[in-house]
Amino acid sequence: MVMQARTDFDIVIVGGGIVGLASAYKIAQRCPSVRLAVLEKEERLATHQTGRNSGVIHSGLYYKPGSAKARTCAAGREELIAFAQRNGIAHDLCGKIIVATDERELPAMERIFQNGQANGIAGLAKIGPERIREIEPSVTGIAGLHVPSAGIIDFTGVATALAELVATRSAGNKVMTDHQVRGFDKHDFYTNVQTNHGSISTRYLVNCAGLQSDRVARMDGVGSGVRIVPFRGDYVELTPAAAQKIRNLVYPVPDPAFPFLGVHFTRMITGGVECGPNAVFAFKREGYAKTDFSIRDTYEALSHWGTWRLFLRYWRYGLGEYARTFSRKLLLRQLLRLVPSLAMEDLRPGSAGVRAQALGPRGELLDDFKIETTKNSIHVLNAPSPAATASLAIGDHVASLAAERFGLGG
């Protein structure tokens, strides 16, 4: 009989964003005797994609029926709302409208409507100009969709609550910030996780590192072929007076030729209204300023031929996005399509986020969630929007995988 070495933890989860914390929470619920640790390299939790997204509770409208995105968004949304209610987290199911301003957008809007019906989106309805004005008096359009099940939430508050519940579930559980994973020293029955604060031993690994997920996978010897290419999204905010023009969430009809939703208006749970985002290649994975640059990040992205294939496919769209990044006038032109009464003085600088866009080995955009497993590890390699909305459902799936692959008991 082979005796296994005693380790510091049974499971180490890399990444203190909402997906990592939701996975820890679900594992702790399912297997209360398991000792687990969440390692976050920043001094605060939810610093990157979780804390820098638009804070929207997605309805699941856009996702391919039957996809992991569609399934987990539907289940995760309901559980997220219940979790927020139990834990006193600010949220508001305010609804949103998608607005067509040109007849050429009507076929795409119809496809979105049919997709939403297939996904069972509650209350989804086609609306005309008069109803658009009733919902959003400052918005102009020829037709639209009303999505009452969409909303806004404090995702950082969700992450904080999840961390507290994980840490208090068992004295053996830890959520540790300022712990950057630098490598893995693998043995037959355990792994030493090398961090900036020394080595932590664990039987199993779960990688929820977001923008760094492909690198963590490669540290673990997982050659999936997935490469994270960062895209920055810049927002502007409306001045307090102009923010009165937007009551809730207002989106354009997205161009089906491109993988982004277009410039939209988002009422924030903390107050105010954001407009954006654009979507431009970021020269640093965690670079939120226009001039941020990392030699390593840029080299890794531009040395991957799939990045160039992506650029060639969307070069015209990309040039337009870069132009709007540096020209407030061009951005305003996009906003005026939906709210014609806006003026340049209504806009002021806002926040920015970076989206971890995963490319496959042939340079293809990975649209759906992607999770890979080994005997002793689980790697969440692609968790784009609506991952925050779906986080608790994703956590359920990770916990099921952990129980199955790692043979965990209760």
Domain at 346, CATH number: 3.30.9.10
Same domain, 140 and 173: no
Report pLDDT digits (tens) over 290-323.
Answer: 899 999 999 999 998 889 988 888 867 777 777 7
From 359, 381, 400, give the residue that closes a domain.
359
Count of CB atoms situated within 10 Å of the CB of 268: 18
Q: Which two tokens stand for residue 264?
A: 């939209």
Strand partners, 36: 11
Alpha carbon of 194 to those of 12, 137, 180, 372: distances in Å? 12, 56, 8, 22
Domain hosting 315: range is 95-150+227-359
Report pLDDT digits (tens) over 168-222.
Answer: 999 999 999 999 999 999 998 999 999 999 999 999 999 999 999 999 999 999 9
Same domain, 114 and 262: yes
Same domain, 101 and 237: yes
From 342, 359, 376, give the residue that closes a domain.
359
pLDDT band at 1 (very low <50, low <70, confident <90, very high): very low
Count of CB atoms situated within 10 Å of the CB of 171: 8
Same domain, 338 and 282: yes
Same domain, 25 and 77: yes
Q: Is the pLDDT of residue 337 over 50?
A: yes
Using alpha carbons only, what angle is made at residue 19 by residues 16 and 25, rounded to the nearest 5 degrees? 80
Same domain, 248 and 144: yes
Same domain, 125 and 273: yes
**The one-letter amino acid at 43:** E
**The one-letter amino acid at 268:** M
Domain at 201, CATH number: 3.50.50.60
Same domain, 138 and 180: no
From 359, 375, 391, give the residue that closes a domain.
359
Same domain, 68 and 86: yes
Same domain, 64 and 109: no
Same domain, 40 and 80: yes
- Which residue, 374, 398, 380, 39, is CA-closest to 193? 39
pTM of whole model > 0.85? yes
Same domain, 162 and 135: no
Report pLDDT digits (tens) over 250-273.
Answer: 999 988 766 667 889 999 999 999
Q: How many domains does the chain have?
A: 2
Residue 259's pLDDT is what? 63
Q: Which two tokens stand for residue 283?
A: 């020269």
